[in-house]
Structure 1
Amino acid sequence: MNKEVTGTLPFCVEKLRQNAVIAYPTEAVFGLGCDPDDENAVMRLLALKQRPVEKGLILIAADYQQLEPYVSDRELSVEQRERMFARWPGPVTWVLPATPQTPRWLTGRFDSLAVRVSDHPGVQALCRAFGKPLVSTSANLTGLPPCRTVDEVLQQFGADFPVMKGETGGRDNPSEIRDVISGELIRQG
């Protein structure tokens, strides 16, 4: 296939619709992502990362509306919503109560789900074109540093791995993670 076509937004959206795992640039590093509603795609992503399903995953989205089917918004107070929206879109991941319908392959052993509305233009375009959020975890094989360039993704995952061309947002650290209910810092950003 033509290498110029492989890194484009339409190519990556088509791969997602075919239940593939892709890599794409985020605020700090490249992420690995797939359709959150496809258990087989999520299991392939977890196998690539050698990550146990019990740990749960992050969903990344273009806007909060894309996340609403997965989170129990009615459990949030006005103050908790305001605290969350004050930091979005941006590099802050919030842990919210999950709906009972949210698949366990996303929540792991938890009754909550980590979610982020990204301000990265590539993530925004990808989620809008795909029409829903993506699973998002750092693009790296176990024991190796997260990929920060397209070339690093191809070195770690192979020359034919679907990767959206683009630049990361230039941040040094992955997203901060906070619990929306308590405000507690889970991971420093």
Structure 2
Amino acid sequence: MNQKHDSLELCIRQLQMSAVIAYPTEAVFGLGCDPDSESAVTALLALKHRPVEKGLILIAADYEQLVPYIADEQLSAEQKERMFSRWPGPVTWVLPARAETPRWLTGRFNSLAVRVSDHPDVVQLCSQFGKPLVSTSANLSGLPPCRDADEVMAQFGADFPVLRGETGGRLNPSEIRDVLTGELIRQG
């Protein structure tokens, strides 16, 4: 067994137990957890010192994984075309959330930020876990985002579950856009 496969198996088990993990994304390492586990999301928010009101991003292997959380039926063909023209890839879209989507994901909003990634480790992780992950940069409050597994362990401890892999090499976090208006919310 190689180190990457072992770390993937470990991370899947940790996700199934509502733990928080770290994994490589397009630009930095992300912290992630099961979006359906309030205890996991609460633990992630506590690690980041992030208020629940800000809302979170879900990252997925494909669009179908996001459908249970978003109000897909509210999107026009043109809006979907705009979104799909940039996916998979490092663009996060803000979409209307389903009424039943937990507030621990949406925060104070009636929308949810989502991304279909083209990073092979993210795709494999979400595919094997069978659903999207909460995704926020892996860093403690006030520290820069981690760009490799060693930095994750330096900030979060040697026993923190990390998917071994490389980031996609991008310098900036994902661009964020509103799917309804096309408006740029955060430059990528």
TM category (shorter chain) comes to over 0.9
Q: Which residue of 2 aligns with 1:40?
A: 39
Aligned-pair Cα RMSD in Å: 1.3
Following superposition, the deviation at residue 113 of structure 1 comes to 0.0
| Structure 1 residues 6 and 141: alpha-carbon distance in aligned structure 2, compared to 1, 3 A threshold | farther
Q: Which residue of 2 aligns with 1:156?
A: 155
Q: Which residue of 1 aligns with 2:128?
A: 129
Give a deviation string over 1:11-52, Cα, whole Å, max 9, x none. 110110011000000000000000000000000000000000
- Match of 2:144, SS state, is coil
Q: Which residue of 1 aligns with 2:93?
A: 94
Question: Structure 2: which 5+ runs fail to align?
Answer: none
Matches within 5 A, 1:27-176: 27-176=26-175
Task: Output the amino acid matched with 2:54.
Answer: K
- Match of 2:115, SS state, is strand
The whole-number CA distance in structure 2 between the counterparts of 1:146 and 1:6 is 24
The whole-number CA distance in structure 2 between the counterparts of 1:5 and 1:165 is 5
Contact 2:35-2:105 at 8 Å conserved across structures? yes
Identity %: 75
Contact 2:4-2:163 at 8 Å conserved across structures? no
Following superposition, the deviation at residue 86 of structure 1 comes to 0.1
- Match of 2:177, SS state, is strand
Following superposition, the deviation at residue 7 of structure 1 comes to 5.4
Q: Which residue of 2 aligns with 1:22?
A: 21
Give a deviation string over 1:137-169, Cα, whole Å, max 9, x none. 000000000000000000000000000000000
- Aligned pair count reads 187
Following superposition, the deviation at residue 9 of structure 1 comes to 1.0
Which consecutive segments of 4 or more residues in structure 1 shift more than 6 A?
Answer: none
Task: Output the amino acid matched with 1:125.
Answer: Q
